[in-house]
Amino acid sequence: MRVAILQQPGEPLALAERPDPEPEADELLLRVDACGICGSDLHVSDAYPLPGLVLGHEFCGTVEAAGPTAGGYEIGDRVAALSLTTCGTCAACLSGRPRKCPSAVMVGIERPGGFAEYVTMPARNVFRLPNTLDAQHGALIEPLAVALHTVDRAALEPGGHVLVVGGGPVGLAVALWARQLGAGEVVVSDPVANRRSLAERVGASATVDPTAEDVGDTFERLTGERPGTVIECVGTPGLIQHATDVAAVDATVVIAGVCMAPDTLLPIVPMTKELDVRFAFYYRARDYDTAISMIDRERIDPLPLVTSEVSLDELPSRFQSLKSPSDDCKVLVRP
Ligand SMILES: [Zn+2]
Ligand SMILES: [Zn+2]
């Protein structure tokens, strides 16, 4: 099969031939239908020496073969994969919190991912896709689950106004869910004009350009108050401080942006406001079910998040170009 692999940090992905993977007894062999490029893929490719690794953890595929104990699926079934493999038997797995499984293995980091024609996954770590969902929907289930878990962590009050900091794929999906789950005004802050217009397409009631306007003042002008919920979806140093600065007294601040650099925070700001600052990471298994069923019932339309599709051949150059600021939101690989 053909795959795209990491070379040394910072170098473009390389195309390579690998033997088709063989499913273990409890695994399915999937033909990858679509795999999203995630910001963390870009980060890993620059930061870690993992030559030969096949990235890609946001994928859906069609079952081509099944190991003898990989029950419940037939050849031709279409599934969306968790971005982890898990043991399936520990307390975390049984309560639907796969990230907290002590045996969790990150797909596309610790085992080969979806930038390939084929990939294997344990049958317990995939979710069947109804025919109403196409491959674009299937590849969006993982980021939609991440965003749904983030909004879940915010414990929104019905009608409460929400500020989403960052209009990348996660921020936009957070805006989509917040609107769907009963928020009042949902304001997205992002410096990129195209992301602000995408935000309005997925349900944001207003947007703000943080390079041109004061975010807190603009939010107050739009909604009549400072944000009672702030959801940070960028992950660069300074933004936790920003989120606490703009938040209302007694607000909830959820940090979903993945920041791998040291950051500073002036604690007196969240202290005097008595902010409830929470972090969000990954998802619960039920978030996959919810995302699939909400698309199936036409309650949400996440397709505006997909701004382009590339073949495996086109992936290395596109992947490189996504490391610079662009108008793209979610780019899918169609191997
Ligand atoms: Zn991701
Ligand atoms: Zn487990």
Q: Which ligand is nearest to the CA of 122?
A: 2
Q: How far is the CA of 40 from the centre of ligand 1 (A)?
A: 6
User: Is residue 9 very low, low, confident or very high in pLDDT (cuts 50, 70, 90)?
Assistant: very high
- Mean pLDDT, the chain, integer: 97
10 Å Cβ neighbour count for 289?
14
Residue 316 CA, chain-centre distance (Å), reads 21
Phi and psi (nearest 5°) for 23? -70, 140
Q: Give the residue among 259, 261, 265, 263 at the shortest CA–CA distance from 279.
A: 259
d(CA 291, CA 284) in angstroms, rounded, equals 11
Q: In this predicted structure, what is the pLDDT of residue 53?
A: 97
Element housing 318 (H / E) = helix 315-321
Phi and psi (nearest 5°) for 143? -65, -30
User: Is residue 325 very low, low, confident or very high in pLDDT (cuts 50, 70, 90)?
Assistant: confident
The answer to whether the CB of 245 falls within 8 A of the CB of 272 is no
Q: In this predicted structure, what is the pLDDT of residue 33?
A: 98
User: Is residue 216 very low, low, confident or very high in pLDDT (cuts 50, 70, 90)?
Assistant: very high
Q: In this predicted structure, what is the pLDDT of residue 71?
A: 84
Would you give the end-to-end CA distance of the chain in angstroms? 10
CA dihedral angle for residue 136, residue 332, residue 33, residue 201, rounded to 10 degrees: 0
Q: How far is the CA of 70 from the centre of ligand 2 (A)?
A: 17
Which string of DSSP letters, residue by residue, matches 74-88? Answer: -TT-EEEE-SEE--S
CB-count exposure of residue 274 (10 Å: 0-12, 13-18, 19+) = exposed
d(CA 222, CA 156) in angstroms, rounded, equals 19
Residues 6+ apart with CB under 8 A from 165: 171, 189, 215, 230, 231, 232, 233, 234, 239, 242, 243, 257
Rg (CA), the chain: 20
Which residue matches tokens 């041109």? 212
Please state whether 174 falls in left (phi above 0), alpha (psi between -120 and 50) or beta. Answer: alpha
Does the reported pTM lie above 0.95? Answer: yes
| Residue 309 in this model has a pLDDT that exceeds 90 | yes
Q: How far is the CA of 218 from the centre of ligand 1 (A)?
A: 31
Q: How far is the CA of 155 from the centre of ligand 1 (A)?
A: 23
pLDDT of 68-85, one tens digit each?
999 899 999 999 999 999
Q: How far is the CA of 285 from the centre of ligand 1 (A)?
A: 15
Q: In this predicted structure, what is the pLDDT of residue 326?
A: 83
pLDDT of 129-141, one tens digit each?
999 999 999 999 9
Q: How far is the CA of 120 from the centre of ligand 2 (A)?
A: 18
Q: How far is the CA of 303 from the centre of ligand 1 (A)?
A: 17
Q: How far is the CA of 176 from the centre of ligand 2 (A)?
A: 30
pLDDT of 255-272, one tens digit each?
999 998 999 999 999 999
Q: In this predicted structure, what is the pLDDT of residue 224?
A: 97
Sign, CA torsion 12/143/305/43: negative
Q: Name residues with Cβ closer than 5 Å to ligand 2, which is an ion.
A: 86-87, 90, 93, 101
